[in-house]
Amino acid sequence: DAKTTQPPSMDCAEGRAANLPCNHSTISGNEYVYWYRQIHSQGPQYIIHGLKNNETNEMASLIITEDRKSSTLILPHATLRDTAVYYCIVRVYSGGYNKLIFGAGTRLAVHP
Amino acid sequence: DAGVIQSPRHEVTEMGQEVTLRCKPISGHNSLFWYRQTMMRGLELLIYFNNNVPIDDSGMPEDRFSAKMPNASFSTLKIQPSEPRDSAVYFCASSKDRGFGNTEAFFGQGTRLTVV
C-alpha cells in the first residue's frame, strides 16, 4: 500500500492561505490522492481528491506534482473553523475494490 | 439524506459484556466501512463490505470482533466479550463505488465506547 508522509502539525493565521503538504513517493499510476479532515469529536469529512491534474472545489484546491510523488492541499482563506486534523490518503485499489487507509495526519491550528 | 447514522452515540459497558454497534449507510451506497479510532493507533480500518459481502476483514483485531451486513441498509459490529482496551470511537462510513472513479466516503458521527 502506498504510504503518505505529512507534518504532524502546522499553524496558520486566520484569513491567510493554509498550504498542507503530503509526500506519497510510492504511489502507483492508478491510485488517487484523497484529502479528508476531522474536526474534534466528529467523523472525518471529505475535502477533495485527484489523480494527476490539479483540482479545485468550494472547500479547497489540490496541487499534485507532475511526478505525482507529492501534493499540497490549499485552503485559500483559512478560518478558525478550519482548525482540524487533515489526512492525506492514497486510495488503495485491490482486487477490484477500494479502501481508504488513514495515516496520522496534520493537525492544523488556525489562530486569530 | 440524513447521512450515515450510527447508534448508540455513547456506550459504557462492563468488561466481559457483549456490545453491539449499529450503522445505517446512506441509501444507494454499496460500500460500507467500519473504522476504530484511538489516540495511540489513530484511525484503523476494521472491515469493508461491498454489496453486503465482507471483502476485507484483515483489520479486525481478533475473534472477539464480528461484523455483519444482513441487507443494504444495516450493519452491525459486535464485540464479545468486551475488554477495556476496546475503548475507542468506532466510525461507520459508506460510499457508492466499485473500481476506479469517485469514492467519496461519508462518515457517521461515531460511537464512543467505554469498557470499564
In the predicted structure, residue A9 carries a pLDDT above the cut 90: yes
Q: In which band, very low, low, confident or very high, does the pLDDT at B102 lie, cut at 50, 70 and 90? A: low
CB contact under 8 A, B105 and A32: no
Please tell me which of the candidates B44, B97, B108 has its beta carbon nearest to residue A98. Answer: B97
Q: How far apart are CA B4 and CA B108, in angstroms?
A: 5
Q: What is the pLDDT of residues B51-80, one digit of tens each?
A: 999 988 989 988 999 999 999 999 999 999
Contact assignment for A99 to B45 by CB distance below 8 Å: yes
Burial of B3 (0-12, 13-18, 19+ CB in 10 A): middle
HSE, CB side, 13 Å, CA atoms: give it for residue A14: 6
The answer to whether the beta carbons of residues A36 and A62 sit under 8 Å apart is no
> For residue range B20-58, what is the model confidence (pLDDT) as tens digits?
999 999 999 989 999 999 999 999 999 999 899 998 898
Cα atoms in the Cβ-side hemisphere of radius 13 Å centred on A65: 12
- Note the pLDDT of residue A41: 80
Q: For chain A, what is the mean pLDDT? A: 91
Which residues 6+ apart lie within 8 Å of B2 measured at CB?
Answer: none
Residues of B in contact with A103 (CB under 8 A): 42
Q: A44, B104: Cβ pair inside 8 Å?
A: no
- Position A21 confidence tier, pLDDT thresholds 50, 70, 90: very high
d(CA B4, CA B100): 23
DSSP A81: G
Please report the pLDDT score of residue B1 as a whole number: 66
What single-letter amino acid sits at B34?
W
- A14 Cα to chain B: minimum distance (Å): 27
Distance from CA of A21 to the nearest CA of B (A): 19
* Cell output for A59: 472547500
The answer to whether residues B2 and B57 touch, using CB atoms and an 8 Å cutoff, is: no
- Interface A–B counts its CB contacts (< 8 A) at 61
Does residue B2 carry a pLDDT above 90? no
The pLDDT of residue B9 is 97
Answer yes or no: is pLDDT of B87 > 90. Answer: yes
Tell me the backbone φ, ψ of residue B82, rounded to 5 degrees. -80, 150
Q: From the CA of A36, how many Å to the nearest CA of chain B?
A: 10
Q: How many CB atoms lie within 10 A of CB A96?
A: 10
A93 closest CB neighbour out of B42, B100, B109: B100
- Measure the CA–CA gap between A8 and A16, rounded to whole angstroms: 20
pLDDT digits (tens, 9 = 90+) for A43-64: 999 999 999 989 999 999 999 9
> Which residue type sits at B39?
M
Alpha-carbon distance A105 to A87, whole Å?
4
Is B54 near chain A, with CB under 8 Å?
no
Predicted local distance difference test score (pLDDT) of residue A30: 79
Which of B47, B24, B18, B50 lies closest to B34 in space, CA to CA? B47
